[in-house]
Structure 1
């Protein structure tokens, strides 16, 4: 069931965006997407009846609601403000929905600029993984006015299983940074704990036998451990570079709020050290391998398997 005459635009057919766009199109919405160098997602969307556009402006001209699912604020700013950006093609009454993890200061500036041309803005960042994006069961936390949220909800329901209207414009991005502070903080703690365990003679498998199914277990822990225990590279396809970016945004938000962000900075530096060592495109669970290496222990999956 589609919502009235909404025509959806989509920019960012990446790990998360491809699944989201697929669900929007398969569930009945006309969809125009921005072409990209990686042709596989684009060809799939064309086969599903979507239309390809060459510029953000062209996406905007064909759409009443435009979703952005890109790396972060720098990319969103270019998509909105560039020479062939969304601002040049959006019609009054349109809505831009930013599903990226972004700097709230940038979010509010863009929302203000779009309001001047009669365009609404919502931030709807994501939680969970590309698997749930493909299945249409992502979590999203939405920052929007009540009216815009109600308008968007039927479209959001095509790709999200859990939708929380967290507050006004910008609150979605603020909450996403808090969410990622917790999850990426866990990643930093797990990595250091596993390295210390190895230093004192406790293997990852023995470590896991205590944590798993105990009070300290959680869904994130189980996904995170699949790299070290099973060698599953794709268990959590979110790069260390993106993790560092998000923790840097968190630091900026904390600085603006006047918060002493000691733990956030400590977690950020764990990712910074791994990125500096060449791990930018490794995924978050691989932080364990990097932290182990710095501390002189081999926590790569093959070595972990030998330590049972």
Structure 2
């Protein structure tokens, strides 16, 4: 049986790893460059085909992945004369792997459906290292027929696939998931600052929390910055985190849900971005909160 041709728009930290696994699974892959040519050239060297535009990619592919910053970028890729909606074949599928605004996702799905193109959302769960290893999670929103078509491709790059319901449900759950992880980041950072202010060390903090019921995979990647100054373990920027929490605020308001704790987390991220730290990664929240408490950088046994 001939495998569908897969398109991929957005070959960044996560997209490159996803594409590697699509190729490993034997799917024909078409990619398009944006700013950084290095990942494109790497994938072409492994057998991918490079399209010169999104329009060219869309017209050549059966299932088109998008993995960009957020909804404005997704809308730009799908809309316009050179976008996916105007150039993809009827019967093709668009899979948005970005963390997007569910309201925008629903609107885009309607636009694509008018042209006979299906849409699914499959935001990614994990890190760039998980993407390269093919061990990401995928939170999928799609009708049953569309899910059946895209599941073999998603299985190439995801270890844990959860079909949550119709299009948009994946993005809703992803925002809630990110709220929990970012809330954990803020909580850990503030707790470490209190520990240090009261005379305990970060090493003592880790010895207790890292061996308790509160230990988890997020804790491990988050703490690698504080304990080892490893900035590769959790490469998710403050700017992207803040964007996700703005989307979640809109989702909460639209749903009539109270969200006082999420407001605090969002404002913490807003403060970091406003201070010029938007390009820093989420584990560096610990340094920001430490500085606000008059402490220097978070390292084991560090003192004021």
TM-score if structure 2 supplies the norm length?
0.97
Aligned to 1:99: 97
8 Å Cα contact 1:195-1:299 kept in structure 2: no
Q: Is the Cα contact below 8 Å between 2:139 and 2:174 reproduced in 1? A: yes
Q: How does 1:38-77 map to 2 (within 5 A)?
A: 38-77=36-75
Where does residue 26 of structure 1 map in the other structure? 24
Distance apart, 1:272 and its partner CA: 1.0
| Aligned partner of 2:233 among 235, 241, 249 | 235
Deviations 1:138-186 (A, max 9, x none): 1111000111111111101110011011111100000001110110110
Once residues 114 and 237 of structure 1 are traced to their aligned partners in structure 2, the CA distance between those partners, rounded to angstroms, is 32
SS at 1:13 equivalent: coil
Matches within 5 A, 1:1-308: 4-301=2-299, 304-307=300-303
Query: Which aligned runs of 4 or more in structure 1 are off by greater than 6 angstroms?
Result: none
Q: Deviations over 1:3-57 (max 9, x none)?
A: 7441100001000000001111122111111112211101101101111112211
Q: Which runs of 5+ in 2 are unaligned?
A: none
SS in 1 for 2:164: strand
Kept in 1, the 8 Å contact 2:139–2:162? The answer is: yes
Contact 2:3 2:28 in 1 (8 A): no
**1:96–1:120 contact (8 Å) kept in structure 2:** yes
Checking the alignment, whether the CA contact within 8 Å between 1:26 and 1:48 is kept in structure 2 is no
Distance, in Å, in 2 between the alignment partners of 1:27 and 1:149 is: 18
Contact (CA 8 Å) 1:8, 1:32: kept in 2 or not? yes
TM-score, length basis structure 1? 0.96
Taking only aligned residues, the RMSD between alpha carbons, in angstroms, comes to: 1.1
Q: Deviation at 1:199?
A: 1.4
